[in-house]
Structures are given as C-alpha cells and as structure tokens.
Amino acid sequence: MPDPHRIEGELLQLYSKPQYSSRFDHEKRFGSDPRRFTPQSLAKRTAEKLFSDRSLLDPVYVEELRGGVTLYRAYDGISFKQGTAMTLGSYWSSSTLVKRIWDATEKWSGKVREEVFMDFMRSASFIHPAQNQMLHIARMHVPAGNWVVVIRGRGNWKALRTDRPGARKATKPLHPFENPEVRSVDDLIYSLHMMPIPGEEQFNIPLFNDNWVDKIERGPGWPLA
C-alpha cells in the first residue's frame, strides 16, 4: 500500500509553490468549504482517501505535469445524489492509453466499437459499473504555461471490494452483473470479467481548473477529438 504520510508531504511541498496559489484562492472564494481549503488540508485529505480507497498500487509517484498535456476520463453524469461519476472527478487516463485501447478495437465499428472500447477502459481502470456507467468521455487539456499536480500509479483491483472498510454503500439493488458484490478474486473474475492483475496507469488529480475540462461529443474523432 502507498504510504499516506509520504504522499501528504510531497503533495504539500508542491502545493505550497506560488504557481498554485491562484487555484487555492479561487476555491476559497467559490468552493463549498472555503475556510478549510488550504494546501495542508488538501494534501492530508487526498492522502487519507488514497490510502482508504486502495485505488493505486505501489509504487505511487507524486509529480507535476507541464501544460500542453491532455488527459481523459469516462463518466456517466447522471446525478451526484446517486454517487455516480461526473466530468470533474479525480481519476484520469493518459491520451496514450486511450488511443491504444481505441486502436485495439479497430475490427469493430459504430456503437459496437464504442461499447467494446468502454468495456476495455472499465477493465483497464477497475471501474465498478454501479459507480460509473461510462456513457461519455471527458477531456482535460492543461494549457501551456500551467502546471498540475498528479498522483500517478497503476490501478488496484481491491479498490472494487464492496466489503472493505469505508467502501461506498450501494445506491442500487444488488445484481450479479450490474451491481455485484466484490469480495474475492472469484467475484472480480466472474461478476465483472476482470483479472486481479495490476491495472493500467492512472492519474489522480486533486486540484485543477474546471475550465480545462469539456465533453467529447460523438463524432468521427471520438473518443480523442
């Protein structure tokens, strides 16, 4: 498991740099909990959640990405109240991974290809169908001249365990495939059709500019347009 104390310290060191002060000022003015939004609180909360969720395997790297990079995430955008995934979530994939998965589906076409692509993305990132139906693709483009702090690591299947302490409670009736319980490797394989091996690299991004994110509309270039 990643060391939350190390991650907290490295996040705090980076978020204390002057280039991030404007983002914290923005959150203090417009965020839901402005008095508590500081580099210290964000670093601590992010590290604790990463440890609790078990979402990434060691080694985990805390680093900065220079502007000009583009990242992607699948989401459904149904409702915050249902606990489902929105465009502005924390976890993102590289454009390299998205292109590699899209290229691997070239023998299919149309809606079938899109569905196969989403299935591959789900498996690569260990995404539970009850938490994210993966209906759309969002893109984050970090403009040149900006920086963003990321936590980089490979996905951990144990983040899907429904019996782990702190696991999100199901908001939908249990179903063997649509909303399965995941307590063992067998559940992972037979209910979610995933393998208990290290997942693809993911980027946890605790703080970014909402204006960097937009939805990729269906079209000839989807999902990378």
Give 121-146 pLDDT, tens digit per residue. Answer: 999 999 988 888 899 999 999 999 99
122 Cβ contact list (under 8 Å, min separation 6): 74, 129, 134, 194
Q: What's the CA gap between 199 and 211, in Å, rounded?
A: 29
Tokens standing for 52? 């609790």
H/E run at residue 125: helix 110-125
pLDDT at 164: 75
The two tokens of residue 200 are 């693809």
pTM of the model: 0.89
Q: Extract the runs of DSSP E, i.e. beta strands, from the chain.
A: 56-66, 70-75, 91-94, 136-141, 147-155, 201-204, 213-216
pLDDT in tens, 23-39: 998 887 876 665 678 99
Backbone torsions φ then ψ of 135, nearest 5 degrees: -95, -25
| Strand ranges for 70-124 from DSSP E | 70-75, 91-94
- The pLDDT value recorded for residue 162 is 82
Count CA atoms closer than 13 A to 188's CA, side-chain side. 19
* Range 50-79 burial, b when 16+ CB lie within 10 A, else e: bbebbbbbeebebeebeeebebbbbbbeee
Burial class (CB in 10 A: 0-12, 13-18, 19+), 182: buried
Within a 10 A sphere around the Cβ of 160, how many other Cβ atoms?
A: 24
pLDDT higher for 103 or 192?
103
